Amino acid sequence: MTTNEHLTRIVIVGNGMVGHHFVEQLIQQSNEVYGKNQFHITVLSAEPRLAYDRVHLSEYFSGKTADELSLTSAEHYQELGVDFQVNARVDQIDKQAKMVTIESGAVFEYDKLILATGSFPFVPPIPGNDQPHCLVYRTIEDLEAISASAKVSKVGVVVGGGLLGLEAANALKEAGLKTHVVEFAPQLMAVQVDVSGGRVLKDKIEELGVEVHTQKATQSIEAGENSRYKMVFADGEILETDMILFSAGIRPQDKLAREFGIVIGERGGIVVNDHCLTSDPDIYAIGECALWNNFIFGLVAPGYTMARAAASNIVGGDVVFEGADMSTKLKLMGVEVGSIGDAHAREHGAQTYTYEDQVAGVYKKIVINAETNKLTGAVLVGDTGDYDTLLQYALNEIDLPEFPESLILPSFGDAAPTLGADALPETAMICSCHNVTKGDIIASLDGGACDLAEIKSCTKASTGCGGCAALLKSVTDSELEKRGVEVKKDICEHFAYSRQELYHMVQIGQIKTFDELLSKHGSGIGCEVCKPAAASILASIWNDFVLEKPHVTLQDTNDTYLANMQKNGTYSVVPRIAGGEITPDKLIVLGQVAKKYNLYTKVTGGQRIDLFGARVEQLPLIWEELIEAGFETGHAYAKSLRTVKSCVGSTWCRYGVQDSVGQAIDLENRYKGLRSPHKLKFAVSGCTRECAEAQSKDIGVIATENGWNLYVCGNGGMKPRHADLFATDLDTETLVKYIDRVLMFYVRTADRLQRTSVWMENMEGGLDYLKDVVINDSLGLGAELEQQMQHVVDTYQCEWKTAVTSEQSRKRFRQFVNSEKSDANIIFVEERDQIRPATEIEIDQILGVKKPVKAAATSINIVEVE
C-alpha cells in the first residue's frame, strides 16, 4: 500500500451494476482497514450514463425512467471522490506502462486495473439479422430503440426463450405489440426448469396472449408480405413480424483482454482465480466478463461477490470468490418461476417428488439425494411461495422432514413443516445480493446494533433487490428476543401500541377523533406515521367524511385533495368505472372533460381511465362535471378498494361460464367505501382462462360451472405474490359473506401499510388459520365482521360529491391562500399529442434561465397555463 502522498491509482473499466458495486466496496473496505479512502479511483463507462439497475430494466416500459433506474449520480461519485468519464470506451491497455487509452485518445494511468466490462447480447448468425428493427435488449439505449420501433410496429418477435428472452417479451407486450417468442430448444428456460416445468410455463405465458414457438431454427429474415419481415424456419414455416428482438443469451465482453494478452478461456471469458485476478498480477476481472473455474456467472449476486473479493485482495483482506449459488426466483410476465440447485436431477442417484395442479397452472418439483435426507434442487412454476424455505434446506444442507413431499404439497397432515429463524445455522445466507449471513446479523447485534434499521445500515442486508426483507426481520426479531430485548411493535413514538391495538381501542372506546385517541392513549402531538394510520382506522370503523375538520389534518397529501399528486404538483383524477364497464355517453364525457381542461389521458391496467395534469383549483370543477354525468370517486388516492377488474364473462365470451362483469360491478359497489391498511385490488374472471388475472389480486374470483372459486391475499407491485385458493364452487351469497369476513378481519388485525399477502404470511397458521376464522368461524367473530362491513356499505358517500357541496371543503382547493391565481411554475410540454410535465432542462429553456447545458433538448411545444 502506498503512502498518503501517493494514493494507489485504481482504474475501473465498466460501470455496470458490478463495476459500481466494486467502487462502493473498495471505499468501504479501505475505510474499515485504514480509516479513510486510500485510493484514487477512476471509472470509465462506455455507456453515456453511469450505473443503473439492469435487473429491473423491463420496468422502463411500465413507466420507470432512466433516472429512476439509476444506481448512482455524478454528485454521488463527486462526494465519494471518484473521478469518472462516460462515453469512454477503452481501446488499448499498456500492461508494461500500466496505462489505458480511451477512443478519444485520453490516457489513464493505473496501479490496479479492474475489468468490469460485462457481456454483450448474442445475435445468431442469421442472414438478414442486421436490418432496421432487428434489435437487442441490453442497455437503456436499446430500450429507447425498441420503444421507437414499437411506435411504428404492430407485431414483435423475441428470438430466445430463456430468462432474458421472456423479460424482453414482456417489454414488447408492455409496448403494446402482438408478441411471439421463438426458441430453438424444445422448451422455455431450459437452463432453469425441467421439461414439465417448461410446459407449464409455456401454457401460462400463452394464456397471457404471447405465442410461443419452440424447436424453431430461423434460417433467414426476409421481406414480409403483410408485415415488415418474415422469419423463415428450417421446418418450412414462416412467421411475419415488424420487429425482431434478439435475446438468445449473452457472451462475455472479453475483446479488450483478448487483444492485449490477458488469458482467455477456450470458449471465451477472462480467466480469473479466487481473488478475481487475471493472468496479469495487477489486473482483475469481475462480473459477466470473468471466467472462474471454467464458469461464467450471469446473475448480479455472484458479480457482487466477485467485487467484494477483488476489493478485499487490493486492501490486503482474505475474502475470496468460491463460486455462487445460481438459484433464481423471479416473476416473468406475471408468472412466478423458481429454480434451485440441481433442478434437472442430474446428480447420481437423485430422486424427485413432483406436484402439478393443471387447473391452477402450478408445477412443483423437489430433487433429493440418493440417501433421501438432503434437498439438492427444486423447480417451481406458477407458485414460488415455498422458494425461501426450500432454498434454505438446500443451501444449508438441513435434514429433510420425514415426508419430504410435504414441502411442496398444498396441504399435508396438519400443515407443511416450516423453517423458522431459529432452525437456520449461522452460515445461512440471508441476503445473497450483499452476502449477509445469519452469523453477520448476529455479529452486528453483538457489536451494538439494536434494531432492524441498524442491521440494514451496517450489513446492507435487504437494500438490494429486497427479496429477503421478511426473512431478515424474522431473524433479527428472533435474535433480539433471545437477548431479552423486547421487540416493539409500536406504531411510532407517540403511541406505545401496534396498529391492531389502536384499532381495538378506537372500536371499544367509541373514540371518534385523533385528539381523543391521543389524549387517552398517546403522548405528544402526533406525527406523519400515526396520524394517517389513525385516520385510516377512524374511517374504517366510523366512515366519516375524511375532510371534516377533526380528520382533515390527519390525511396525507393524496387524501387531503382526494386525488393523486403527480411529479410537477398537479393531480390525477380517476373516476370509478365499476368492473371496467362504461357506456358510450360516459366515455364521451370523459373525453370532453379531458379536452376542456387539457388533461393527459391514460387507460390503466386496472380498467380505469386516468386524467392527469389537473391543477388543485380545477379539481372541484372537474368533479362537478363528472358527478353530473354519473361518475363518482375511484378512490385512487386512498388506501382502500381501488378497482375490481373483469373480463366480459358469459355475456359475450364463448368460454365464459358466469357473468363476471355483473359480479365485478356488484363487488365494487359493495366494497368501494372501505378504508384499509393498504390498497386493495379485486378481479373477477368468467372462466379458468383467467383473462382478468384474478390470482394476482388481494381478492380474486374465478367462475366455475358450479359457482365461484375464491382466491385471497395475492398482489402485484414491488414484491408480487400469487393469491391462494380459499374456497371453491361458492354461491354468490356465500362468496360475499366470506369476502366480508376476510376483508374486515384484515382491517382489524393488519399492521400499518401491510399488504394482505404479508398479513396472511405473518399470521401463525397462515392460510389454514384464515380459513378456520372465516369459514369455520373459529373465533366466533363471523356475524360481527359482517355487521361491521354492512355499516361501511350503508354509510358510503362519494367523497368528491361531499367535497364540492361543502363550502368549507372547497376552500382547500386553491393554489394560494390569498390569491385566485394559478401557479405559473407548472409547465407542460406536448408529446404524442398529449401534455406531460416539462423536465428541469425544458423549464429552464422555456423560462430563459441560463444554466450549463447537461443534455441536448429536443424541440419543445409549450402548453400555456390558463
Q: Number of structural domains, the chain?
A: 7
What pLDDT shows up at residue 469?
65
Cell for 641?
378498494
Contact 743/671 with Cβ under 8 angstroms?
yes
Cell for 264?
482467455
Rounded to an integer, what distance in angstroms lies between the CA atom of residue 543 and that of residue 556?
17
Looking at the structure, tell me whether residues 133 and 169 fall in a common domain.
yes
DSSP secondary structure letter of residue 776:
S
Distances (CA, A) of 859 to 141, 465, 716, 829: 20, 37, 37, 10
Looking at the structure, tell me whether residues 223 and 197 fall in a common domain.
yes
Low-confidence ranges of the chain (pLDDT < 70): 1-5, 62-63, 334, 411-420, 463-470, 486-489, 567, 717-719, 815-825, 849-866
759 found inside a domain: yes
> Residue 178: beta bridge partners?
155
Q: What is the mean pLDDT of the chain?
A: 86
DSSP secondary structure letter of residue 423:
G
* Domain boundary pick from 560, 576, 610: 560
Rounded to an integer, what distance in angstroms lies between the CA atom of residue 732 and that of residue 718?
32
582 found inside a domain: no
618 found inside a domain: no
DSSP secondary structure letter of residue 206:
H
The CATH number given to whatever domain includes residue 363 is 3.30.390.30
Contact 50/86 with Cβ under 8 angstroms?
yes
Looking at the structure, tell me whether residues 265 and 116 fall in a common domain.
yes
Torsions phi, psi of 600, nearest 5?
Answer: -70, 135
Contact 764/645 with Cβ under 8 angstroms?
no
Looking at the structure, tell me whether residues 412 and 435 fall in a common domain.
no
What pLDDT shows up at residue 88?
95
814 found inside a domain: no
Torsions phi, psi of 113, nearest 5?
Answer: -115, 130
What pLDDT shows up at residue 62?
65
Kindly give, in sequence order, each residue whose CB lies less than 8 Å from that of residue 665, ignoring residues fewer than 6 positions away.
Answer: 578, 579, 581, 644, 646
**Closest to 230 in 3D by CA, of 128, 317, 332:** 128
Mind listing the pLDDT tens digit for each residue in 808-821?
A: 778 778 765 445 66
Query: Does residue 653 have a known ligand-binding role?
Result: yes
Looking at the structure, tell me whether residues 112 and 260 fall in a common domain.
yes
Rounded to an integer, what distance in angstroms lies between the CA atom of residue 793 and that of residue 797?
9
Rounded to an integer, what distance in angstroms lies between the CA atom of residue 39 and that of residue 3?
10
594 found inside a domain: no
Looking at the structure, tell me whether residues 229 and 179 fall in a common domain.
yes
Looking at the structure, tell me whether residues 702 and 780 fall in a common domain.
yes
Looking at the structure, tell me whether residues 73 and 114 fall in a common domain.
yes
730 found inside a domain: yes
Looking at the structure, tell me whether residues 665 and 779 fall in a common domain.
yes
Residue owning grid cell 404439497? 409
583 found inside a domain: no
What pLDDT shows up at residue 207?
82
The H or E element that residue 539 is part of is helix 530-542
Query: Does residue 647 have a known ligand-binding role?
Result: yes
- DSSP secondary structure, 24-64, as one string: HHHHHHHHHHHSS--EEEEEE-SSSS--B-STTGGGGGGT-
Mind listing the pLDDT tens digit for each residue in 687-699?
A: 988 999 999 999 9
Beta strands in 140-210 (DSSP E): 155-159, 178-182
User: What's the half-sphere exposure (Cβ side, CA atoms, 13 Å) at 758?
Assistant: 21
Look up the domain containing 235 and give its range.
123-248
Rounded to an integer, what distance in angstroms lies between the CA atom of residue 51 and that of residue 69?
9
Torsions phi, psi of 837, nearest 5?
Answer: -65, 135
Segments in 345-437 forming alpha helices (H)? 387-395
61-70 CB burial, b ≥16 within 10 A, e <16: beeeeeeebe
Looking at the structure, tell me whether residues 539 and 452 fall in a common domain.
no
Looking at the structure, tell me whether residues 136 and 86 fall in a common domain.
no
Query: Does residue 468 have a known ligand-binding role?
Result: no
Query: Does residue 530 have a known ligand-binding role?
Result: no
What pLDDT shows up at residue 840?
72
The CATH number given to whatever domain includes residue 16 is 3.50.50.60
- In a 10 Å sphere around its CB, with 0-12 CB exposed, 13-18 middle and 19+ buried, how is residue 705 labelled? exposed
* Domain boundary pick from 248, 271, 303: 248
Q: Nearest 5°: CA angle at 63, between 59 and 67? A: 80
The CATH number given to whatever domain includes residue 673 is 3.30.413.10
568 found inside a domain: no
* Domain boundary pick from 535, 560, 585: 560
- DSSP secondary structure, 129-152, as one string: TTSTTEEE-SSHHHHHHHHHHHTT
Rounded to an integer, what distance in angstroms lies between the CA atom of residue 149 and that of residue 107?
38
Looking at the structure, tell me whether residues 413 and 426 fall in a common domain.
no
Rounded to an integer, what distance in angstroms lies between the CA atom of residue 532 and that of residue 520?
18
What pLDDT shows up at residue 816?
52
